[in-house]
Amino acid sequence: MHIMEGYLPWQWCLVWFAIALPIVFFGINKITKIIRENPEQKMIVALSGAFIFLLSSLKLPSVTGSSSHPTGTGLSAVLYGVSCTAFLSTIVLVFQALLLAHGGITTLGANIFSMGIAGPAVAFVIWFALRRAKVSVPVSMFFAAMLADLVTYVVTALQLTAAFGGAAGYGTAFIDFMTIFAVTQVPLAIVEGAIFSMFAKYLADTRPQIFGLEPKYEGAASA
């Protein structure tokens, strides 16, 4: 979900920019290194960015000053980590702010942090933990993608609470934001998890090396 242009006080805009930008710059260097050392990864990197763009552009009305939508960050978070996902999300968020009036430039730092950093960080940890526990790739991807979406909405609620919760009380404001977001975001997160789970199963069957798996049948790795 994106916080819209001009909705956050300028002090909070600066705070979120200061937190997000170093991670984005680290992601630029990491993506550059990945592509330079493994040119065959260009297509998967582009596909990861395309998922972020397509899914996060499916905007539904939500609480005043924001919107609900899938995030599309699950695949990138699992394959490339948080900083790379932050960079890819930044490209998407700038494009949407300038051309689709979705989000904003002043709120860019806040949106990068919630969608491109916090959600992917949880997705990466969940994926790693489930795979260590020998959970299948599709199931691990389902929970990683779903929680990346849900955590994005929780962090956005926290950001709005920090900016506007003083009058009503921070606890009350947080519960109010969470409750309103949940109406649309929880079903979206489940659907997003299911989409990525199916795609992960396809990749695991046809490109098992992407997930560090052995081919299930001869020729799978070169299919």
CA dihedral 47, 155, 124, 137 (to 10 degrees): -70
pLDDT tens-digit profile of 139-150? Answer: 999 999 999 999
| CA distance linking residue 68 with residue 196, whole number of Å | 18
Res 118: pLDDT: 97
pLDDT tens-digit profile of 35-52? Answer: 999 998 899 999 999 999
Of 223, 193, 194, nearest in space to 206 by CA: 223
165 Cβ contact list (under 8 Å, min separation 6): 172, 173, 174
From 16-25, 187-196, 210-219, the region with the lowest mean pLDDT: 210-219
Res 214: pLDDT: 72
Q: What's the mean pLDDT when you consider all of the chain?
A: 88
pLDDT at 65 exceeding the cut of 60: no
Res 1: pLDDT: 64
Instruction: Print burial letters for 161-195: b (CB count within 10 Å at least 16), e (below 16).
Output: bbbbbeeeeeeebbebbbebbbebbeebbeebbeb
**Reported confidence tier of residue 222, pLDDT bands at 50, 70, 90:** very low
- Six-digit token pair at 190? 């489940």
List domains and CATH numbers for the chain: 10-222 (1.10.1760.20)
From 15-24, 71-80, 145-154, 179-188, the region with the lowest mean pLDDT: 179-188
Residue listed under structure tokens 């904003």: 104
- H or E stretch at 87: helix 82-99
**What one-letter code names the amino acid at 165?**
G
122-126, 170-174, 202-206: range with highest mean pLDDT: 122-126
pLDDT tens-digit profile of 10-29? Answer: 999 999 999 999 999 999 99
From 55-69, 97-111, 190-204, the region with the lowest mean pLDDT: 55-69
**CA distances to 7, 51, 159 from 164, in Å:** 10, 32, 9
pTM of full prediction above 0.85: yes
